[in-house]
Amino acid sequence: MVESAENTTVVIVGAGVAGLTLGNFLLRSGVSCTIVEKHSRAYVEKRQRAGTVDSRGVRMFREWELADVVKGGSSPKEIAGGTCIDGVRYPLGLGDDDTDAFLGAGGDLRFEALDVGLEDLDSERPTVRYRNPDGSATTVTCDYVAGCDGFHGVSRASVPAEALTRYSHAYPYSWLSVLAEVPAAPFGMAIHDRGLAARFPRGADASRLYLQCPAGDTPEQWPDERIWSELRSRFGADVPTGRIVDKRIVPLRSVVFSPMSYGRLHLLGDSAHLVPPMSAKGIHLALHDTEVFARAIIAKVQEDDASLLDGYSDTCLNHVWNYQAYAIWITDLMHDAGDASYQGAFRKQIARAELQRLIDSPTASRLYDELSGGLL
């Protein structure tokens, strides 16, 4: 088998939000990097992404001269829809990110890098090996590895189990996630006695739909007609229907791995932590990790200052735990406000009162906006 050997400063594993953003930051700062992604470009561009960039994220992209990656302008844009509580609608903001900037600036992005393996992570020169679609192999030697390949990726799996501590919290319900060939509808959420429901545009001709369901449910328990019936019931109105192309159960959980570094490997985003999608914090945490790590690498490469890199894990974990506290609060609040079968009628009334306070109080609403950056 033919094998080639290469060198770079940082190998980034994964071309999601964290990986591409990090690549852009390093590229614009003169730090050599290579992104390896196991999927094809078509798959990466179509897979589901978080839909909101908060005001901090927008400011961050501006500071790095990457404002164009936020679609729709320099700030989250107001769109029709919002949250539906017993038939009353309240608007929210929505923003998008764009990942084309890295390739446009000449970045080195390897799609379909198969069977990625990380070696010698606790040495001064770790290596990343992968197999190309044609069967040849590539070895990239680097100074640092950024693990941006998600919760089930190879990066965290390459760390000895005894070197990490896992903290986790499971919620008593799940979400049924559905991708349907339905023309993009306005963003919308519904709080209902039957459970939470949500729908989001995914391109011009597709929508992502969510239905709260018991944690033990399976996709087979949700035939298409039941899905459309539940959406109609929970939104209290007709909803457009179409061919359902994917349905899956999404468990709601909060997970943190500590530390977020092992040798020359540093974990970013979902590789190191998960928050439930209700909190809209996954992309925010990934972007925070990315900026902290980028500034640390730049300081080390340009100034030989390793202090930021040495403190990367502690700096990020302080931020992560604050966001986890918010994630649990908003997730419990939104679900308790609907289906009372989990926490009871008393908690439901408390959640409804808290939601009403957020809606009615300008001060509380501003604080909520600062914390959340919008839902989902």
Question: Considering only CA atoms, which of 144, 140, 141 is closest in space to residue 130?
Answer: 140
Instruction: Report the 10 Å Cβ neighbour count for 89.
Output: 16
pLDDT given at position 205: 86
Question: Burial level of 161, CB count in 10 A (0-12/13-18/19+)?
Answer: exposed
Report strand pairing: 261-262 vs 137-141: unpaired
Helix, strand, coil shares of the chain, percent, nearest 5, are 40, 30, 35
For residue 280 the two structure tokens come to 């809209």
Where are the chain's structural domains? 3-166+254-327
Answer for the pair 171, 331: CB distance below 8 angstroms, yes or no. yes
Phi, psi of 39, rounded to the nearest 5 degrees:
-90, 170
Buried b (16+ CB within 10 A) or exposed e, 70-84: beeeebbeeeebbbb
Answer for the pair 138, 128: CB distance below 8 angstroms, yes or no. no
Give the span between the Cα atoms of 265 and 271, in whole angstroms.
11
Answer for the pair 16, 283: CB distance below 8 angstroms, yes or no. no
Give the span between the Cα atoms of 247 and 212, in whole angstroms.
13
Question: Considering only CA atoms, which of 51, 102, 95 is closest in space to residue 74?
Answer: 95
Buried b (16+ CB within 10 A) or exposed e, 28-60: beebebbbbbbbeeeebeeeeebbbbbeebbeb
Give the span between the Cα atoms of 63 and 160, in whole angstroms.
37
Written out in words, the top-level CATH class of the domain with range 3-166+254-327 is alpha beta
Partners of 97 in the beta sheet? Answer: 70
- The pLDDT profile of the chain, 376 residues, written as one tens digit per residue, is 566 789 999 999 999 889 999 999 999 999 999 999 999 988 877 665 545 666 677 788 888 888 776 654 433 333 334 444 444 443 333 334 446 788 888 899 999 999 999 999 999 999 999 999 999 999 999 999 999 999 999 999 999 999 999 999 999 999 999 999 998 666 688 999 999 999 888 877 889 999 999 999 999 999 999 999 999 999 998 888 999 999 999 999 999 999 999 999 999 999 999 999 888 788 899 999 999 999 999 999 999 999 999 999 999 999 999 999 999 999 999 999 999 999 999 999 999 999 888 878 776 555 555 544 444 3
Question: Considering only CA atoms, which of 267, 365, 291, 346 is closest in space to residue 57?
Answer: 291
| Residue entry with tokens 């561009």 | 45
Answer for the pair 206, 185: CB distance below 8 angstroms, yes or no. no
Dihedral angle sign, alpha carbons of residues 124, 130, 132, 137 = positive
pLDDT given at position 112: 96
